[in-house]
Structure 1
Amino acid sequence: MRSRTGGMWWGTSIEAPDPSALARFYADLLGWHIGHEEPGTAVVAASPQGPFFVFQQADGYQAPVWPPTEGEQRPMMHFDFQVGDLDSAVAEAVDLGATVAEFQPQENVCVLVDPAGHPFCLCLDEG
């Protein structure tokens, strides 16, 4: 997508009760850096050109429930990250503050929950 200013940008925005803390979690998990931070917003970037994850303050935030449950806040999105060593990647994510979800729907993928309650997947890259 080309912005009206002529530059290229792409990313996604994620609601969080503490955007700075969640940005630090993903920056540490991915080896990215925090590219911008201000009250209510923190941006994690792979490089100055992106991709970007924008974490935004959400008053009244309700963490999604995994697996989806009738009448509860459903996950609206989730990240999938490919990893070369699933066990090591899961251990690192847990050390950073993630929790392993109780429900695991498939082999070679581990569903975790980030510190704000968003589910994300670590997927074994078998290629």
Structure 2
Amino acid sequence: MRSRRSGMWWGTAIEAPDPAALARFYSQLLGWPIGHEEPGTAIVAPAPEGPYFVFQQAEGFRAPVWPPADGEQRPMMHFDFQVGDLDEAVAEAIELGATLASHQPQENVRVLIDPAGHPFCLCFDGDGDS
């Protein structure tokens, strides 16, 4: 983007019924600090320049359904996180409040559901170089 300048924030906004709680979950999962919190909004980022995850209050929030089902709220996006040990990363995410999805489409990927109901993936590459 040509109009983007150094120091401008960039990231992803995620709707949640409790933005502060979801920010705490991802802060602990990723080891990113909560950089800002106010009523209805909380932000986590690995560094002040971002990228950011902005969690925003959503009245009437309906959690997406995984796998997608006709007539239900579809996941509009999801996070993928590469991990070095899939079993260990899944156990840690569950300890922090995630749940393992019943549908697992790939052997080297685990779909989990965050505390607000958003699916996210933990991915193991296996070669250790990425």
Query: Aligned pair count?
Result: 127
Deviations 1:45-66 (A, max 9, x none): 1111111000000000000000
The 8 Å contact of residues 2 and 8 in structure 1, kept in 2 or not, is answered as no
Give the gaps of 5 or more residues in structure 1.
Answer: none
Cα separation, 1, equivalents of 2:13 and 2:52 = 9
- Please tell me whether residue 74 in structure 1 is matched to residue 74 in structure 2: yes
| Range 1-10 or range 84-93, more displaced | 1-10
Cα separation, 1, equivalents of 2:76 and 2:108 = 23
Cα separation, 2, equivalents of 1:118 and 1:103 = 14
Question: What residue in structure 1 maps to residue 27 of structure 2?
Answer: 27
Cα separation, 1, equivalents of 2:5 and 2:104 = 43
Cα separation, 2, equivalents of 1:56 and 1:90 = 25
Question: What residue in structure 2 maps to residue 107 of structure 1?
Answer: 107
The 8 Å contact of residues 3 and 9 in structure 1, kept in 2 or not, is answered as no
Runs of 4+ in 1 over 3 A off after TM superposition: 1-6
Give the gaps of 5 or more residues in structure 2.
Answer: none
Deviations 1:4-62 (A, max 9, x none): 77633210000000000000000000000000000000000111111100000000000
Question: What residue in structure 1 maps to residue 43 of structure 2?
Answer: 43
Structure-2-length-normalised TM-score: 0.93
Q: CA offset at residue 103 of structure 1?
A: 0.3
Aligned-residue Cα RMSD (Å) equals 1.4
